[in-house]
Amino acid sequence: MSTQESYRMATTAREVTINLRARAAQKDLIDRAAELQGKKRTEFMLEAACEKAEEVLLDKTFFTPDEKRFRQFAEILDAPLAHHARLLKLLSKRVPWDR
């Protein structure tokens, strides 16, 4: 998550409530860490939970195939393009951020 997204999420109104139970030692640990970062407990916990969620999701995005599957994957990538003309048309367009 970018700094800008983190700031936006921290400063916008929250829409739902998330309830959870914790041991006193866990609450104290979280409170100490939040205080060190100058954040409120809720902000600290949401940020930490979102960072972990993104990490879990990214782990599912990247994969490490065995040698046989990697060779199959490489063959697909190296194969000729099926719609060469359509790809050239797409790549010749100006990207929105260059306009």
Q: Is the pLDDT of residue 93 over 70?
A: yes
Q: How much is the average pLDDT of 83-87?
A: 82
CB 28 within 8 A of CB 34: no
State pTM to two decimals: 0.52
Q: Are 43 and 34 in contact (CB under 8 A)?
A: yes
DSSP structural state of residue 77: H
* Structure token pair of residue 89: 């048309």
Q: Which residues, 6+ apart, have CB-to-CB distance to 10 below 8 Å?
A: 43, 47
Asked if residue 1 lies in contact with residue 51, where contact means CB atoms within 8 angstroms, the answer is yes
pLDDT in tens, 10-52: 567 888 999 999 999 999 999 999 999 999 999 999 999 999 9
